[in-house]
Amino acid sequence: MPGQWYHFVGIGGAGMSALAKILLAQGYRVSGSDLADSKILQRLRNEGAEVFIGHAPENLQEGVGVVVFSSAVPPSNVELKEAQKKGLPVISRGELLAQIMKQYKGIAVVGAHGKTTTSSMISFVLYRNGFDPTIIIGGEVNDIGGNAALGSGEYLVAEADESDGSFLHLEPYIAVITNIDNDHLDYYRTIEEIEKAFRTFIEGVRPDGFVVMCGDDPRLRSINPQGVEVITYGFHEDVDFRAELIFQEGLRTEAVVTYRDHPLGRLRLSVPGAHNIQNALAAVAVGIRLGLHFPEIARALADFRGVQRRFQEIACLNGIKIIDDYAHHPTEIKALLEVAQALRPSRLIVVFQPHRYTRTLFLQEQFGTAFQRADLVIVTDIYPAGEKPIPGVSAELITREIKKNGQPVIYLHQMQEIVEFLAEECRPGDLVLTVGAGDIWRVGKNLAENLKNPYSCVEKVPWTGKN
């Protein structure tokens, strides 16, 4: 790849930090900037990156060869302006991932929902069975202790990003597609445009490669790729790798797996929900296609410990269980609440932080019906994720839609309000579920602190509801 020194504008993001970590491991010099410090940035410093807090032209030091930016960084950013002024190459996160993927047999995982867990499962199956893959994922994988790892093998497993079309830069050996849904409509505008982008992505698969896709998804089935080997998975009767759910209790899920009606064996997971059986089937399909046997794959998946912020238990105190999840789309929230209800809590109390103004605007009605399994919903302010406010768009839109559907719902602005309300409201047997892709996880952490010490509701982690 060109250049020996890469500078990342927005280095603290999940995808950007993973790429930076891989470049550091490959011996490149890495610097970067972000608006606020974090554990991710501290880890990058420990691995050799030079990190600046705040964006400034002088962060682009003499010797920087390539500047990398993410879709969250606006064109007006002062460091991008400085790079243009200096005539430095400026590339997107997706372009850098494509450059790295060319060094490997790339396994690119895309889809509206489940891609972080699916890519993590595939990575773990390959790692456990001696493939030693390089891994670039948009979440903190418990089994690798982070979101990226440089392996010595020929495969790269990467979570690709369809939200801004950047996955179209990739030419993977294997394309894994979990589903298509009406998300990122600020970029695509229509579901037809999203489907067109996925068709284009499939056309970019290497001639010797193949596609693994969920046959339960009607939009994926309608694409019907031609000219490439396609392997399907799911619960549908006519898929290649099919699961029949036979057991689901608490955090354990079990299914019987067949390949074109030939029995393969049982799949036992310690991550909950039918959707995770689907995710695991993608890993089964990839593993078997690469020469593994089902028992080898099943043993690895039985030990898979999940991804942070995916149904992550924060605490269980005074009989009150606190769980955090990254779900931020109505489809994900419905699946999440189904899993939570399977734990049979006395009451399911959901604290929801909407993510992005555009998603709130486009999907407000769908959000209104997503919480029907909850006994109480608390909605707080939108996490902007770098977006500018849209006039008339606020968390109260979702609050009104939930209320229209007869659900008990309240709106609370400040985190401190939420923590104090929950500390007073919750009783033994309740499950508190914090939901959203922003920083709503802080509510669970602070509530746990409060329950440990009920006479002090000091906010241990500052939170403003802003990015």
- CATH number (domain holding residue 141): 3.40.1190.10
Say yes or no: 297 and 326 in one domain.
no
Say yes or no: 299 and 321 in one domain.
no
Domain-located, residue 460? no
In angstroms, the CA 1 to CA 306 distance is 33
The answer to whether the Cα torsion of 305, 311, 315, 321 is positive or negative is negative
Q: Is 115 a catalytic residue?
A: yes
Residues of the chain with pLDDT under 50: 455-467
Domain-located, residue 111? yes
Options 21, 82, 115, 140, the catalytic residue: 115
Domain-located, residue 48? yes
Options 82, 116, 162, 401, the catalytic residue: 116
**Residue-level pLDDT at 462:** 37
> CATH number of the domain that 418 lies in?
3.90.190.20
Domain-located, residue 286? yes
> CATH number of the domain that 12 lies in?
3.40.50.720
Say yes or no: 23 and 43 in one domain.
yes
Say yes or no: 214 and 333 in one domain.
no
Options 159, 171, 332, 449, the catalytic residue: 159
What's phi and psi for 355, nearest 5 deg? -120, 115
Say yes or no: 187 and 294 in one domain.
yes
This prediction has a pTM of 0.80
Contact 301, 270 (CB under 8 A): no
Q: Is 159 a catalytic residue?
A: yes
Say yes or no: 81 and 140 in one domain.
no
Say yes or no: 167 and 253 in one domain.
yes
Say yes or no: 113 and 183 in one domain.
yes
Q: Is 338 a catalytic residue?
A: no
For the record, the structure tokens of 158 come out as: 């990467």
**Residues of the domain holding 180:** 104-303
Q: What value does the CA radius of gyration of the chain take, rounded to a whole number of Å? A: 22
DSSP state letters, 3-42:
-SEEEEETTTSHHHHHHHHHHHHTT-EEEEEESS--HHHH
Domain-located, residue 175? yes
55-95 pLDDT, tens digit each: 999 999 999 999 999 888 888 999 999 999 999 999 999 99
| 208-209-213 Cα angle (round to 5) | 155
Say yes or no: 339 and 286 in one domain.
no
Say yes or no: 55 and 190 in one domain.
no
Contact 373, 341 (CB under 8 A): yes
Q: End of a domain among 32, 59, 91?
A: 91
**What is the count of structural domains for the chain?**
3
Q: End of a domain among 282, 303, 324?
A: 303
Say yes or no: 186 and 283 in one domain.
yes
Closest CA to 205 of 180, 175, 167, 242: 175
